[in-house]
Structure 1
Amino acid sequence: MEVKAMNRWIKRSLALAIAVALIFSTAGFQAVAQDQQVANEPTAPGMIADLVLLRPLGIVATAAGTVFFVVSLPFSELGGNSKAAYQKLVVDPARFTFGRPLGKIEGVLPAQ
């Protein structure tokens, strides 16, 4: 009997410790997010990541979106949503790639 009680105590203690750790870990993320909102200036590592990773991916997304738009054009014309398809597949990726300052990615992607 004593072993079962000990195992229950260990399980409850472990569950409590995990719950407390999760609560405190999310508080840290909120503090970091608030700091990033206050300091909205692009950083050097952010600019480098934008230049090396995001801009090339944006170019690929713009090219692929253009190809998909051209392929889907007959169907989107029949459906009456060719302007929306053009906006989402061509304009938005192009704006993300070419229409923003280097290192600035906040507020560029549309809210879901």
Structure 2
Amino acid sequence: MSPFRTTALVLALTTGLSALPAQGAQEVVQSNNSGDPTYTVNAPPAYSMIGDLLIARPFLIVGTAIGAAAFVVSLPFTALGGNVKEAGDALVLAPGREAFVRCLGCSSPR
């Protein structure tokens, strides 16, 4: 295969995979016929889960690591300002929750 075709194929696949999370509208499936919202189950579609697993989670894990490094660097200044907890929540805990606690394909932690 020529280098142009290989590059075009890789670009097309990358573009297609990057569009998956943007299309990941969540579907709500009724687990019973009563219509009671207590029994409503959140079931994201498979393409949303795949996009989340292959694209979003690696970026969130890297973001958590970068946030942890930024937190350590800024720790003396945040300690002087008295907002260590807020800095830790914003830089480390929030991306960590999204990367490790959120269900696969969901848009918020459950």
Q: Matched residues in 1 for 2:68 and 2:76: separation?
A: 14
How many Å apart are 1:100 and its aligned residue? 1.4
Preserved contact between residue 26 and residue 44 of structure 2 (Cα < 8 Å): no
Unaligned runs of 5+ in 2: 1-24, 29-41
How many Å apart are 1:79 and its aligned residue? 0.5
How many Å apart are 1:84 and its aligned residue? 0.3
Q: Matched residues in 2 for 1:98 and 1:38: separation?
A: 22
Which residue number corresponds to residue 4 of structure 1? none
| Closer/same/farther in 2, CA of residues 90 and 74 from structure 1, 3 Å limit | same
Which structure is richer in relative contact order (CA contacts within 8 A, separation 6 or more)?
Answer: 1
How many Å apart are 1:37 and its aligned residue? 6.5
Root-mean-square deviation (CA, aligned residues, Å) is: 1.5
- Give the aligned length: 72
Q: Matched residues in 1 for 2:43 and 2:63: separation?
A: 26
Instruction: Give the TM-score taking structure 1 as reference length.
Output: 0.60
Could you say what secondary structure the match of 1:94 adopts?
helix
Instruction: Give the TM-score taking structure 2 as reference length.
Output: 0.61
Structure number with the higher strand fraction is 2
